[in-house]
Amino acid sequence: MSEEQTLFEQVVQSCGLAATIGPGTVQRALGSVGVNFPDRAGPEDYRRALPQLKARMTIYLGAAEVERHLQKIEALLK
């Protein structure tokens, strides 16, 4: 991943969803924990949103794939 990418873009790319679905999915997960501006979200905001993001990802991806992508996101947030 490029250093120029925002954290939002990195999380979207790591979630494994199509480019048409990923950004909105991540944004809605953040919104569900009170973060309405993804560009201002920090790692802790994403950690709080992970359960909601996981639930949304399971709509599109299988369980094993969701877990693999969540591990990527968690590593990114460290």
More confident residue, 1 or 56: 56
In three-state secondary structure terms, 4 is: coil
CB of 67 closer than 8 Å to CB of 8: no
pTM: 0.90
How does DSSP assign 16-71, residue by residue? T--TTTHHHHHHHHHHTTT---GGG--HHHHHHHHHHHHHHHHHHS-HHHHHHHHH
- Find the mean pLDDT for residues 31-51: 96
Q: What is the pLDDT of residues 3-27, one digit of tens each?
A: 688 999 999 999 999 999 999 999 9
Q: What is the pLDDT of residues 54-71, one digit of tens each?
A: 999 999 999 999 999 999
Shortest CA distance to 29 belongs to which of 72, 73, 68, 71?
Answer: 73
Does the pLDDT at position 74 exceed 60?
yes
What is the pLDDT at residue 3? 60
